[in-house]
Amino acid sequence: MKDGRAMITKYGVWVVVAAAGLMLASCGNSPTRTDANKKLAVGVLQSVGLGPKAPPAPSEAQQIAGAMVEKTGDLRMVRIPQRDVAAAIYPVQRNQGVRLWASADQRGFYFRDGMLVATRGLGGDLMQAEVRQSLAHVTSRRSGRALRVHRYLTGDNQPDLRRVNCRITPMGQEAVRYAAMSAQTVKMRETCEGGETRFENVYWVSASGKIVRSVQWQGDMGGMIEFIDIRN
């Protein structure tokens, strides 16, 4: 039975390769048809692990170097372990105290003084978060309690409102160095719980109250996301 499956698999691959060959052979003299058939043939071959491979994604160091050349002003690195994504982001606009940062592939992250309040383009996006109580304790680097309200949309576009109670606690001083950024900070922990939602955010806050690094909860699909300033 095992040998039979191997023969079927091998036969299927050869059928795909033959089909790709026919596509390339039928290109003719029409440039438009030729390009379309070539792209289709490449896609067919890649589907079975053959043909040219897609170029690897740029490394984090390459992204930082490119962003520092192309962009002036603030820059930030975002890491999404649950999606195996790392990207440089830069500020695009500010509206009523909320600043939108975007990546080259148009993923959007909205911050209020460094605290995440919304995302776009991730799937399962955080539509809006009320974080003012947490922000006041974190940026002043003092302990306290806060109420957070997160708004999401369900799969059928119904509102999903989550209220969580949080406790903010200083965890001591820590130096943060990354790329062209260096800061002496106090590490702050925010532990939140409400219903079935539980998460722990961590912030590194400078003497001026700036969040220079953080690990923040986006939601069920995005999970924990790390943000770290690339330069002061």
Q: What is the per-residue pLDDT across 77-89, written as a single tens digit (0 to 9) for each?
A: 999 999 888 999 9
CA dihedral 139, 143, 145, 151 (to 10 degrees): 30
Percent of the chain with pLDDT over 70: 76
210 or 51, which is more confident?
210
What mean pLDDT comes out for the span 140-168? Answer: 97
Q: Where are the domains of the chain?
A: 60-229
Task: Indicate whether 41 pLDDT > 60.
Answer: no
DSSP string, 100-134: EEEETT--EEEEETTEEEEEESSSS---EEE-HHH
Write the CATH number of the domain with boundaries 60-229: 2.40.360.10
Structure tokens at 187: 């590490």
CA 205 to chain CA mean position, Å: 22
Dist CA 58 CA 69 (whole Å):
15
Task: Indicate whether 17 pLDDT > 50.
Answer: no
pLDDT band (50, 70, 90) for residue 65: confident
- Model pLDDT, residue 203: 99
